[in-house]
Structure 1
């Protein structure tokens, strides 16, 4: 457990050391995204996150499955690789085999994509260190180290979300989502979440969004719907802890809907996180109505950015900065502690092993 707590401690220290430099947030005022955010300390932190994800060894509940995917890729041609279910991930495995590397290179690239996406959104926030700290227990440790393909897809979706918020380009959001879908088809479900986030008069953007969502669905998901329905719905698959994980997104959703005017979000940000919040509530209801908690749980993974955006804005707006930072830090510590000690499949993460000492 020690490596995970050291990782948490690094970012908690970053929060403490950086909070004096954080500027007060004014309600309705957009964060200053032009200010330099990538300090030496944060650079070290991002490298540390990527290394811990990429160079882990036999860590994660699906480690054996990913290792088997990597081994099978050695027997495929380039053309056969492109026909695989998730061609981006398959191509990455195939390229690693051709270069003579092991599965750590695949994990490293996927980890880099995940961390890149988190930072792309976190750097826009008034307290990026706090956003990264919130991401550590679940988004980094659980998803980044356990759901390799979907974590990479989510990372690319987050890059698209950051691009959308920075310059309002729906086209770039669609492009990044399409690239993410090459790693995990489910990424296409994120496109409807950005509807109505910009100027409602931008009919071209809305038409592009609708047509892209339909096109990506047809390209990546249509052939898999029957299989997904059989695997998740008819088989009534259940994910242990799904209720807890979805409730983690429900909490910031409720905070946003109750206090959105006080969180310092600009109009487009408020519209985007409103959509995420509403879907989080729908996912909570669906969890109790759907015969498969796994299906809802996997979709809810794309709501995770809501946590490190909304919760990180509570200090300095709803609470004093110092007290709020300590409260949010305590919450993240509790999440990490409960996961490591009580999660049904936490044994897949313990002990943490690094590749070169395996």
Structure 2
């Protein structure tokens, strides 16, 4: 467990000692440039995610992709589901590093998106602290393909907050090459870019049709079978939905106090409403597996809200050390509970590194 706690303590200590970022762009958003410290974090995250060995619930399943790449041609691989991830496997075989290459590049792509998103927050270190217990430890080390997609979507969300709708769509489409479920994020651009109801319907239809044709046309029945018609419920789905519904409720409660531009406000209000709706749908539908996977894309809401919360509950732009400490303690509790009592945490503990 020690490596996970070290990974958590680095941003946690930085969050406790850092004040909010006061420099903003003309559009009200923050700069996302990486400083030397953040490059070191990028390096550490990439290594810990990429060099892990037999860590994560889906560890064995991902070798099927490597075997497919070994016995089939590149063109055959690229015509299958998730061609971006399959290309990584082809490159892994080409370099001779196999899964080590695949996981390291996957970790790098995820970490770039995570850090870019954190840098867009008023308290970047606090955002990263909140991300480590679940998004980093569980998702990036257990849902490799979807973690890449989430990382790329987070870059898109930064762009969307700057009113760059086309850029957001491009990042989402790129994310869908690694995990087709990313297309569910496409309607967000329509629902946040305009107030015209008919234009919203048109944009949702267009983006949905493009996503279906490019990504899902050949595999929609299997996607529905796997995620909606599954007879089993995702273990812990309610807990993960609750983790999203807490910041969603906080955003709705403090929405009039939050100081962000209108584009960002629309995005995170929508994320909050979706998270609240999915929480209640859990009790009224049998699609807990589908809800659980969609909820992974809502995780950035946790980082966004908790990085703003000290300014919402305390003095704006003040250090608000007590509130930062409570949020850090909340994140530490999540990590402790997961590592100690998680149903599948045995697949993560102990952490092992690939030594060749």
TM-score past 0.5 threshold: yes
Q: What is the alpha-carbon distance in structure 1 between the residues aligned to residue 23 and residue 127 of structure 2?
A: 16
Deviation of 1:73 (Å): 1.3
Structure 1 residue 293 displacement after superposition:
1.4
Structure 1 unaligned residues grouped into runs of 5+: none
Counterpart for residue 6 of structure 2: 6
2:152 aligns with one of 145, 151, 156: 156
How many residue pairs get aligned? The number is: 351
- Aligned match of 2:16: 16
Secondary structure of the equivalent of 2:255?
helix
The SS at the match of 2:219 is: helix
Distance 1:348 1:107 in 2: 16
Distance in 2, matches of 1:54 and 1:203, equals: 45
Aligned to 1:283: 278
Offset at 1:179?
Answer: 0.7
> In the TM superposition, what whole-angstrom CA distance separates every residue of 1:235-266 from its partner, at most 9, and x where no partner exists?
31211111000110101100011111212222
Q: Which runs of structure 2 are paired with 1:231-246 in the superposition (5 Å)?
A: 231-246=226-241
Structure 1 distance, partners of 2:286, 2:198, is: 38
Root-mean-square deviation (Å): 2.3
| Matches of 2:313 and 2:27, distance apart in 1 | 16
Aligned to 2:66: 70
Alpha-carbon distance, 1:207 to partner: 5.1
Partner of 1:349: 348
Q: Distance in 2 between matches of 1:16 and 1:234?
A: 45
Report the Cα distance in structure 2 between the residues aligned to 1:42 and 1:231, rounded to whole angstroms.
38
Deviations 1:258-287 (A, max 9, x none): 111212222111100011111101111221
Deviation at 1:313, TM superposition (A): 0.5
| C-alpha distance in structure 2 between counterparts of 1:24 and 1:137, whole Å | 28
Q: How far is the alpha carbon of 1:208 from its aligned partner?
A: 5.4
Q: Pairwise mapping of residues 144-223 of structure 1 onto structure 2 (< 5 A)?
A: 144-166=140-162, 168-200=163-195, 210-223=205-218
- Give distance in 2, aligned partners of 1:234 and 1:182: 23
Does the CA contact (< 8 Å) of 1:73 and 1:93 recur in 2? Answer: yes
- Give 3-state SS (helix, strand or coil) of 1:261's partner: coil
1:80 maps to 2:76: yes
Per-residue Cα deviation, 1:47-104 (whole angstroms, up to 9, x for no partner): 1111111111110000000123213311111111111111111111011112211201
**Closer, same or farther in 2 for the Cα pair 1:120/1:22, shift >3 Å?**
closer
Structure 1 pair 17–221 and aligned structure 2 pair: CA distance change class (3 A): same
